């Protein structure tokens, strides 16, 4: 990974205070594009609001002294060219798309932090040895089309414009048609796949409240958890709530509740970042005076270790089968999501930890319990993430908020790391 620059990036108090006001202004500025009437920000992939936001970012990149360009998938880059063209590119950034009525920080922060860091480096230190780029990934959420990481997936070769998945939005518009309509997928721009990236770093809000609860400013992300998701179908016998004695019941809800209890108890016994959640549950016929005959529920299981995930899920199937057997119910467990956990780069994390220490910023190692573009990019280069606190852990909501001081601290750490790596 080469040497790390020994000097620290010079930053005066006035520069730091300018950074404070600039990151705050930038967040507000970008939130204008796609502002939803119901509150929050809505920028679904390839929609007019999304196009306006990318065009605004493109113009802003130019103003900040970065050379903007698109790839043919719609990812937008701002380049600060290095003097040594043989060295791999340092890439930072995040995604510009949002969920429906999302918050103004999710995704946006990582792009704007990268742009401000690059401007500062350019203004303060001139051209780097190594080329640095900031990226605005065209899509992460999968809010319009039923697939996530379309932008980073094309960069990393997980998806290809030569084989666009046949998916459509709620109105029946296909991904291919929406992309063409927005001006992409027609070879007007360079192909999205990249082989020249040396390292990638993404700043993001935590989307949880661990940093806030523990009074930490920076989370250095050790890994992104793997996920498995299941739908569980429990069948018993619907019967009259008054005339069916307790001993003759095959109550699907009572059985499902025993399973939910198992999931919770068992997950509490696992070390962090293991989590497991029953978030959705439906009862049939769902009438106060009828013993439930059927229950459907989901189980979401996440962990940093693939083997622990697999072991839990095997045990879950056995435990559910035993609960069903004992109660004369039937149970089916269907897996519909299986994503492997991803490790972030330890060397990068060591550098980031050292920077936090030097800056006397309270920080901790942590796992990301949510998915991010970084897990996709990490297939092609050493990658990591930094988190800043989310107030009350709220995300994907107009109520999303992070303090300006903490957002600015994230930009400082990023700038410092880019300086040490690129100059």
Cβ–Cβ under 8 Å, residues 101 and 55:
no
Q: Is 191 in the site for a copy of itself (CB under 8 A)?
A: no
- Residue 12 found at the interface with a copy of itself (CB under 8 A): no
- Alpha carbon separation from 229 to 12, 277, 302, 309, 417 (Å, rounded): 49, 10, 9, 11, 36
Q: Under the criterion CB under 8 A, does residue 88 sit at the interface with a copy of itself?
A: no
Site for a copy of itself in 273-302 (CB under 8 A): 273-283, 286-292, 298, 300, 302
393 forms part of the interface with a copy of itself (CB under 8 A): yes
Residue placing its CB nearer to a copy of itself in the complex, 29 or 209: 209
Q: How far is CA 196 from the centre of its chain?
A: 23
Rule CB under 8 A: say whether 272 interacts with a copy of itself: yes
* Least spacing, CB of residue 248 vs a copy of itself, in Å: 7
For a copy of itself, the binding residues in 201-220 under the rule CB under 8 A are 206-210, 213
Cα 83–88–91 angle (5° rounding)?
A: 100
| Min separation Cβ 374 and a copy of itself, Å | 14
- Residues 309-338 touching a copy of itself, rule: CB under 8 A, are none
- Distance, in Å, from the CA atom of 300 to the CA atom of 307, rounded to the nearest integer, reads 16
- Can residue 83 be called a binding residue for a copy of itself (CB under 8 A)? no
Pick the closer one to a copy of itself by CB: 186 or 280.
Answer: 280
Query: Angle at which helices 13-31 and 108-125 pack, to 10 degrees?
Result: 140
CA 363 – CA 256 distance, rounded (Å): 40
253 binds a copy of itself (CB under 8 A): yes
Return the half-sphere exposure (C-beta side, CA atoms, 13 A cut-off) of residue 295.
Answer: 25
**417 close to 352: Cβ distance less than 8 angstroms:** yes
Q: What are phi and psi of 151, to 5 degrees?
A: -65, -60
Stretch that binds a copy of itself, among 80-88, 135-143, 150-158, 244-252 (CB under 8 A): 244-252
Burial of 405 from C-beta contacts in 10 A (0-12 / 13-18 / 19+): middle
Residues forming the site for a copy of itself (CB under 8 A): 206-210, 213, 225, 227, 229, 239-248, 251, 253-254, 256-258, 260-261, 264, 267-268, 270, 272-283, 286-292, 298, 300, 302, 368-371, 393, 395
């Amino acid at each position: 990974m080469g040497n790390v620059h020994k000097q620290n990036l010079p930053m005066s108090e006035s520069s730091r205070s300018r950074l404070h006001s600039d990151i705050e202004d930038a967040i507000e500025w970008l939130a204008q594009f796609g502002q939803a009437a119901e509150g929050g920000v809505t920028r679904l992939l390839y929609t007019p609001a999304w196009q306006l936001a990318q065009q605004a970012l493109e113009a802003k990149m130019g103003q900040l002294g970065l050379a903007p360009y698109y790839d043919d998938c719609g990812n937008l880059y701002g380049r600060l060219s290095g003097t040594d063209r043989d060295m791999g590119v340092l890439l930072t950034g995040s995604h510009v798309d949002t969920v429906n009525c999302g918050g103004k920080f999710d995704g946006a922060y990582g792009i704007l932090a990268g742009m401000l860091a690059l401007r500062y480096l350019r203004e303060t230190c001139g051209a780097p040895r190594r080329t640095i780029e900031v990226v605005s990934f065209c899509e992460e959420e999968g809010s319009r089309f039923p697939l996530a990481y379309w932008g980073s997936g094309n960069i990393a070769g997980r998806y290809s414009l030569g084989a666009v998945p046949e998916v459509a939005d709620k109105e029946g518009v296909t991904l291919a048609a929406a992309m063409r309509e927005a001006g992409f997928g027609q070879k007007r721009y360079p192909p999205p796949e990249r082989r020249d990236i040396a390292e990638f770093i993404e700043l993001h809000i935590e989307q949880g409240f661990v940093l806030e609860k523990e009074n930490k400013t920076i989370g250095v992300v050790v890994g992104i958890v793997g996920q498995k998701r299941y739908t569980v179908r429990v069948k018993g016998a619907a019967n009259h709530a008054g005339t069916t004695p307790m001993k003759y019941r095959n109550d699907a809800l009572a059985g499902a509740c025993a399973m939910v209890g198992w999931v919770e108890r068992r997950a509490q016994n696992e070390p962090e970042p293991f989590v497991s959640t029953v978030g959705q549950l439906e009862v049939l016929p769902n009438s106060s005076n009828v013993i439930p005959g059927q229950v459907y529920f989901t189980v979401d299981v996440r962990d940093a270790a693939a083997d622990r995930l697999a072991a839990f899920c095997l045990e879950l199937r056995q435990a559910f089968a035993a609960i069903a057997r004992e109660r004369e119910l039937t149970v089916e467990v269907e897996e519909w999501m299986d994503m492997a956990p991803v490790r972030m780069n330890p060397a990068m994390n060591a550098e980031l930890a050292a920077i936090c220490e030097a800056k006397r910023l309270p920080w901790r190692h942590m796992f990301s319990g949510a998915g991010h573009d970084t897990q996709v990019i990490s297939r092609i280069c050493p990658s990591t993430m930094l988190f800043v606190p989310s107030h009350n852990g709220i995300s994907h909501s107009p109520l999303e908020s992070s303090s300006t001081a903490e957002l600015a601290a994230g930009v400082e750490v990023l700038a410092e790391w880019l300086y040490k790596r690129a100059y």
